[in-house]
Every structure is written in C-alpha cells, then in structure tokens.
Amino acid sequence: IFPHQRMAENQPKRTLFFHGERMTWISPVTLDELLDLKAAHPKAPLVVGNTSVGPEMKFRGVFHPIVIAPSRIPDLNVVKRTDDGLTLGAACSLSLVKAVLTNATSEFPEEKTKVFCAVLQQLRTLGGEQIRNVASLGGNIISRKSTSDLNPILAASNCVLNLASRGKKRQIPLSDIFADGVGNNIIMPEEILVSVHIPYSRKGEYVSAFRQAPRRENALPITNAGMRVLFEEGTDIIKDLSIFYGGAVSTTICAKQTCWTLTGRHWNEQMLDEACRLVLKEIALPGSASGEKVDYKKTLIVSFFYRFFLEVLQSLKTTDPCHYPDIPMEYRSVLQDFKNKMPQSIQIYQAKPSQSPQDPVGRPIMHQSGIKHATGEAVYTDDLPSVDGELFLAVITSSRAHAKIVSIDISEALKGPGVFDIITAHDVPATNEFYYSDDPEIIFARNKVICVGQIVCAVVADSDVHAKQAAAKVKIEYEVLEPVILTIEEAIKHNSFFEPKRKLEQGNVDQAFETVDNIIEGEIHIGGQEHFYMETQSVLAVPKGEDKEMDVYVSTQHPAIIQEMVAASLGVPANRIMCHVKRVGGAFGGKLLKAGLLASVAAVAANKTSRAVRLILSRGDDMLITGGRHPFIGKYKVGFMNNGRIIAVDAKYYINGGCTPDESVLVAEVSLLKMDNAYKIPNLRCWAYACKTNLPSNTAFRGFGFPQSALVTETWITGVADKTGLSPEKIREINMYKEDKQTHFKQKLDPQNLIRCWNECMEKSAYYSRKTAVNEFNKQNYWKKKGIAIVPMKFPFGLGTRYLSQAAALVHIYTDGSVLLTHGGIEMGQGIHTKMIQVASRELNIPMSCIHFCETSTTTVPNACASAGSAGTDVNGMAVKDACQTLLKRLQPIINKNPKGTWNDWIKEAFEQSVSLSATGYFRGYNENMDWERGEGQPFTYFLYGAACSEVEINCLTGDHKNLRTDIVMDIGCSINPAVDIGQIEGAFVQGVGLYTMEELKYSPEGVLYTRGPDQYKIPAVCDIPEQFSVSLLSASQNPYAIYASKGIGEAGLFLGCSVFFALRHAVTSVRNERGLKKTFALNSPLTAEQIRAGCADDFTEMV
C-alpha cells in the first residue's frame, strides 16, 4: 500500500459535495445524515451504479437537480446471516450479491437454498460483468422497472424490505410494492431502502425463475417470471402459490387471482390447464406502441408456467418416487437452460515452407494496430486533442416522415449557455443538394422533410452538453404532407420507385414452366440491418484562416468524396480541402455518402464561425439519421422436375431504398447479378426495384444486395426440397454449377473450387453422420430440437466499371533507410495497412519493421476510390507494388555495384548520387463492364467460393436457440495474411448470423425508429458465437487476376451466416413434422426467438 493511501484510510470520512452547472452530487457517510438529506430533498434519487438514473437522464431527458450517492454508508453495505435467511444492504453491488449467494448455496443444505439458486439463475444473465460490478440490489428493486429480472423472483419468494426514514424504521414484504400490479408504491418519498432480507426456502417449497430475451447475455428480457409453490406437508396439494411476471406491463405484476384459485388443488395436468387459462385472463397485455410482441409474450407467460410445472413434478418425483408420476424422458431436456461455454475455434491455412524467411507475404502476421485496439491507445477522430476555440455541433432532426417546414423558432436555443450560433440551409455558401441522379442527396432540409431523422439545422456551442441542451429547445412547426410511404408494400401501391428498374433474363422462362413436373410460389421478407460500427460518425473541421483552406479529420471509407462534397458545399476548389483519415472504427459501407453530408454540416459551421467544429454523433442519433442495409422482399415462382432439377425461375426483388437514391439502384443491380449464388438455372427471369420511401436513405452494407437475394434463392431451394421429399443438400448438389459454364449474364466461370469447397466442408463437418445424430436427438426430445444445414456460396468479385477500381500509392525512402508508405485505402480494422506493409516488405526486400504507414490523406494520394466492395487490398496492393518496383529499378545499378552492401548503404549512396527516393505507384483498375440493355457483360473479375455447415439447438417452449457448431471452408486464393483473412471470415460470418437471426429494426407507424441503441438493438455477442467454430482456407488455389494470387475477402463470408438460418429452419421443420402440422410455413429474416416459437405451434400457442 502506498503511504498516501494509508493516510487516507485513517482519516475520518467526510461528506462530499460536487456542484455542477445545473446539479449537485452529495455523498454522505452515515445513515442519519442520509435520512436528513432525504427528508430535505424527498425527490432526490439515490444513485449507486447510475445504471438506471443515468440512462433516464441521458435518453429520456429526466433532470435531477440533486443526486445522493449512498454507497459509502456502512448500513447500506451489510451482509449478514440470520436464523431465517440472509440480509443484504441495498447498496451491495449485484456482483457481491452473486458471490454471497454462491457461497451460501455451497454451505447450506439444498432444501434451504432454493430461493438463492433462483436469484442466482437470473444474476448469471443480468446485464454483463461490468454492469453487475456497479449496479446495486436496492436500485434494481426501487426503480421497479418491468424489465427487472430480480423483482419477480424476490417478490415471489417473500423477500422483505427494511425501510428507514427520520426516527422511523419498518419492514414491508417486497411484493407489496407491486401489489395492485401497476406498482402500488407504498414507499414514502422520504423513506429509503436500507437492506433486503432473502429468506431460506422450506421443506416442500419449490422456487424457480425464468427469462427470455432477444439475446442470452447483456439484454433486457422480453418476459421474465418468478414462481414459488409450497405444498401441504407430504402431499402435492398447493398450500401457497406465488407467480410474478416482468416485461408484461409497466412494472412487475402478480397473478394473485390465479394463485388464490389454485390453492388447495393437486399439482397435476388438470391444474396446469386451468392455471394457463386463468393466468392469460388475469394478465391483460396492452397492445403496446413500440412494436411489441403481444402474442409472443402471452405464449411465454404460459410456457414459463408449464416449465415450472415440469420442474416441480421432477422434484416431487425425486423426493417421493413411489407417489408421483415420471416426467416422460423426451420432456426432460427442456429443464436444462442453454449454458454459455467459451467458444473453441480452429483455423487452418497452408504454410509456405519454400519461401525466404524474410518474406512476410502469406504469413499469419498480427494486425499492426491490434494491441493498440485492445489497450485503447489507438487514436480515432474523437481522440484528437481539442483545437483552440473549438466548438461542438449538435444536429436537430426532423420528427416527421413527410412534411412541409412551416417555421423554425431558434430564439430559446440561442439564449442557452455557451451557444455560439445556429446553422441552417441558408448558411451553406454553395451546394446544399447533390444531384448524383434524379433525386438529390441533401445536407440541410430546406422547405420540407422527407424522413424522420433528416437534418434540419444544427447548433454550435462551447461544449457538447451545451450544444445538446440548446438543440432540444429548437421548435419546428410542420404541416404533414401525403402520402407517407414507409414500407415496400406501400411503395408498390403508390408506384414509388427510383429509376431505372432492372431486369435480367436467360432462356425461355414461360415455355419452361409448361414442361416442368412441379411449381412452387412464395415470398420472403428480409429486415434491414444497422451498421453498428464501434465508432459512430465523427468529423473535426478545422479552418486554416487563410485562402479558404480547411483540414477535415473524418471517419470515412472515401476521403475523396468528402473532399469533393465539402468543397462543393463551401464553393471552393477541392485543392483547399485537406481530408485526413488515420483509421476508422468500423464502417461496413456506412461511411460513404452519409459521412460526406455530415462532414459538410461540420464544414459549413466551421466556415460560418471561423472556428474548428467537432461533430460526433451519439449512437442513438447515428442510428436515427443514417440508413443501413436495405430491407428486401423477394417473390419467386420456381419450376422443377420430380428428380430435383430446377428448370425455371421467375423472381421479383423489391428493396427499400429510403428517401434518397444513395446506392440503392446499384444494390438492386448487384442483387440481380449475384442471385444465382452457386446454381445453374437454365431459364431465368428476375426483376429488381428500388423503392422510394420516407425512411432514412439506406446505403451500402457489406455484401451489397447479395446477402438478401442469395437468401431468397436458398429459400426456394429448401422449398423445392420440401416438395420433392429430397434433402436440401441433394437439391443443392443437383443444381450446382458443375463444369465451365456461363452465368445468367453470360460471364464464364470455372466452378472447380466451388465443388472442392462443398466436398471439403461436407467431409470436415462430418455432415451425414451428424445429420443422423440430429434426427436421433429429435426423436428423443420433444421440447428441444436440433437442426443442421450446409450452404454453398459463389461470390463474384468486382465493382462493375474500370474507373471504380483504380488506385495509387506514394512511397518515400528516407536517408536513414526507413520507409514511409501511403496509399488510397482506408484502415477500418480489416488490416489493409498491415497487408500493404507486407507487400512493400516483399518488393523492397526489407523487414516490415523498417516501414511505417502514417495516414490516408487527399494531400498525398488524390482522387482515391472508396475502400469498398472487398477491393481495398487488391487494388492498393497493385499500386504499392508498382511504386516499390519503380524505386527498386532506380536502386538496381547501385545494388549491382555493391551486392554485399546493406540497405542503408545503398540508400545513402543513392542520395549522394542524386537518385530520387520517392515514387508514386498506380493501378488502372480491373476491366469490368455490364450492358443492361442486352443483359450481358463482364461485371466481375473473378469469383470466391465457400461453404458453411452449421448446427443449432432450439428450445421449443421459448424459441431460444444455441449455435453449437460451424465449419467453414473458403477459397480465397493465396492469402496474403491468413491471420487477418480468417479474422475477416469469422467476423463477416457472425455479422451474417446477426442479420439472419437477431438484428431487428422497429419503427412506429409514423416512421420513427424505436431501436436506437444497444439497449433495443441486439447484435451478436460472445454467447452467439458457435461453441465449436472452424475455418479452413482451401489449399492450392490460385487467382491470376489479383496481387500475389490472393482474393478480396471482406464481404463474402457474411452470407454464410445463413447456414444458421437454415439449420434453425431444419429444427422448426422437425417440430412441425412431429406434431403433424402440414401447412407450409414461411420463415422470414431475422429468424428471431419470436418466429421460432410461433413456428413450433402447440397447445400453448393455441391458447393465445
């Protein structure tokens, strides 16, 4: 211990006061002092971990002038054992509660610890480790949120609250604060919760807790429950029953009528049936506004009770085997929850033994910034130190989806503390609307708004907080315009599309349909996806003070478009705008056009105020303002023979483009070009329509239309399998590209590696033996089912036109022999700089440690293309190689003269001979083209192939699922860096799992996004990674078209996430077959727990 700490420990604790601009924070040290404070300030909240009050203040605008922090008071931190249970202080963290209960369960007989075990069951998944370390037991109870996982179980278990106020102490049952179901709070404002008493359980008493959430960890529950039953001694007659639910209405709710009615009954099927009907009648769910899952919640309410019924039966059977019936074997597995195990993974790549040890290409080298990412030392846009006189910008966005702006009242906002100015469309010196096609991309809305979240104006102030406070005071008056179009269906009805509509056709479709044995028709809906990059949209615009120069530091994939848009909006030549990107904290396609508009907002503000302006979107604003992946509807008609051969397909794709064109038509085109996935369809006709709606404009997203159109294709493949009675993998094999063939747009391909990936994946995953095991498991388990699926992939690489794939690089050698490298590519975490240093190291034949990459900037490499479409390494690698070869050519005469010399000798000599040690490199791009009139062309340069096999297990009572195992085989040519490449494949796969099974965007009927942050929108976490995860790179694969025979792999792996979707479909199908449900059922994406539960129809779903 350091001396100053020892001194601090001996000093008496004193009350601390912290005064902010608008609020005071008080931290007392004794209970009496706390009670005096509470009497003086009855409305002041008590804050320990700030996990409840904090979000309310941040997201709901709740304001508390005084906050009291009681965590230093000993009485609120007690942990003591009594004769009838444990007493825990209200300020104890949930981690401490977990530790105390875990100890108690190991020390006491099982009979006494049933309540503790049930509370622990909920604590395992409540929040995450970080949340549990600070959140308090008392806060969880007092906030009385319906999402509390602890309150239902504490209430059902007869826990007691010890309350205190000045000169008064009392005890009340915890269940009283929920007595009338809408939170009849009988704690007085001046009272505080000191501690909570959790009782021991008794003989003949059974206690259980349940929850179902959108994700197993770090997610608020959809519904949860706490249940307890006490039997008359030695019988199964109910003496006391207690059932509490959370997540149903605004707070925890008790099914007390049900409990009264059932008292005195035997614990049997008859009681179960009556309990389910009573509880559904008693707990009336409001059809709530925020897209809530009412039917699903009702199903969970009865499914949880059924699970409790089984658990208690099992326990009764164990205590008295003679009297009570056995639970059927096939029901037992549902009593075990899915446990999270640490994922185990295997990565397989080919070593190159013949290569010189100095050559780093093809070796698994760690990402250059990997350690900095992990320690937090990596510098992102918002980590740049503040500039003198810097201002912060907050945007004011439209609250209407389609409306005329009648007036903007900024008078109140301008009076706010620290407010500098308000920026509107009138302040844009030049271009405010960018016409890249018929409809414009807009910086500030001028006279009307066309989506919720459109930027109307902005506030600049001396701090982030002041800017946000002022933004909230801007009043905008609207006049609603018709029609408001939000969905694809509405766009079709109003004929609202972005032109052109696209079509591809081959063979004679109508004639082919006449000749087939069978036809299926159907449609599938695929939801959108939020980019959810770690770093939100960020810009720092710094005016230089002369010649209209400006430095723009921005988180973008495309510095050149930022430069172009900022210059156009300010009305200055591009040579005055210097755009800098060190690194980007993830982008996935979301930091192209939108980043340009946001950079222009900041630049216009910086130009008007002549000050540096920082614009960092909060996560909520980022999700509201920027679009994501296009929601998609695929309609199909497929004709096939009884042997599974597919003869004809007629398909229509509709994508929801949002309110401006952005990249939507391009996404529609790519979805057509890549729709065949791995299959040769002789007669094919497909249309793609980009719908114009009043949602924020959707944009590029990893995979770019392919993950949607290929999912439609795989859906009808499984549809054909269902109809013919053949297995889906047989249908896939029958229709797969077999020999050198042409695609539906007449481009040649050699599918040899596709077949190799498929066969290797079959073999590595032991598909057939595991499928047999899955079927066996499904026969033996009624409430749990497994599913397995294997899916092939052909991913064409290319950007469609030559000029989009040009690239340049600049390499300097300094006289000390060190090399500075830059190129037009952007580091977004995908490791492009690491690979470029590997390329330069090979070409110059010097160690990677001699080469440094500083930043991507429009001052060093002009007119660079976007880092997009998996092409970053391909094109920039060629440019870096070109520059290095130019330098080496100049050095060659010097090396030839002194072959034994060192690199430093040669460089010194070159300088003394006046040989230029700086060179640019250039790559013209791939020769790609597409003629849409004729429906043919060479839009792609080469193809990547892959296959993935995934196995899942579902819980038919809740719809929950677990990803058990995934095997991926990918053909990525000769990998430049297998460590980085396999990381990309794994990351893309998991993002695909999110798209197809979890991530769900929800809007209000007025077009307002509800899912505005990690609280409501769930991306995959560690618990969603397959328990066994193996990735193998296909050996001996060459690619003559790209640098060092590699392939661009950023996007391809995402689609393979649908192997999980089809494994889930397999599991749900086996449930339906077992239950004799003949009706065909459509599963849409994302295939959430709600859909899985609805697909597993049973008595409980019927009751609802």
Residues with a known catalytic role: 1051
Classify residue 604 as left (phi > 0), alpha (psi -120 to 50) or beta. Answer: alpha
Rounded to 5°, angle at Cα 81 from 78 and 82: 115
Q: How far apart are CA 1099 and CA 1097, in angstroms?
A: 7
Rounded to 5°, angle at Cα 892 from 888 and 898: 130
Secondary structure (DSSP) of 967-1029:
EEEEE-BS-S-HHHHHHHHHHHHHHHHHHHHT----B-TTS-B---STTTS----GGGS-SEE
Pairing mode, strands 819-823 and 807-813? antiparallel
Classify residue 183 as left (phi > 0), alpha (psi -120 to 50) or beta. Answer: left
In three state form, how does the secondary structure of 15-52 look?
CEEEECCCCEEEECCCHHHHHHHHHHCCCCCECCCCCC
Q: Which amino acid is located at 749 in the chain?
A: L
Distance from the Cα of residue 497 to its chain's centroid: 29
CA distances for 1004 relative to 231, 658, 695, angstroms: 47, 15, 11
Q: How far apart are CA 898 and CA 214, in angstroms?
A: 67
Q: How far apart are CA 65 and CA 44, in angstroms?
A: 8
Two tokens, residue 252? 């925890």
Cα–Cα nearest to 680, from 720, 631, 645, 654: 645
Two tokens, residue 1061? 């979707």
Secondary structure (DSSP) of 546-606:
STT-EEEEE--S-HHHHHHHHHHHHT--GGGEEEEES--S--TT-SSHHHHHHHHHHHHHH
Helix axes 114-125, 94-107, angle to 10 degrees: 140
Pairing mode, strands 961-971 and 1028-1033? parallel
Q: Which amino acid is located at 460 in the chain?
A: V
Secondary structure (DSSP) of 57-69:
HHHS----SEEE-
Contacts of 752 (CB under 8 A, 6+ apart): none
The residues facing 789 across adjacent strands are: 950
Let me know: does 785 contact 955? Beta carbons within 8 Å: no
Secondary structure (DSSP) of 909-923:
HHHHTT---EEEEEE
CA distances for 861 relative to 57, 373, 603, 824, 865, angstroms: 45, 26, 21, 6, 10
The full length of the chain comes to 1104
Q: Which amino acid is located at 259 in the chain?
A: C
Question: How much of the chain is in helix, strand and coil states, percent to nearest 5?
Answer: 35, 25, 40
Which residue's entry shows tokens 């020769």? 927
Q: How far apart are CA 122 and CA 119, in angstroms?
A: 5
Torsional sign, CA 196, 200, 202, 205:
positive
Let me know: does 1088 contact 1094? Beta carbons within 8 Å: no
**What are the strands of the beta sheet with 403-409, ordered from one edge?**
448-449, 403-409, 475-480
Which residue's entry shows tokens 């009050």? 53
Torsional sign, CA 948, 557, 599, 464:
positive
Cα–Cα nearest to 40, from 228, 192, 249: 192
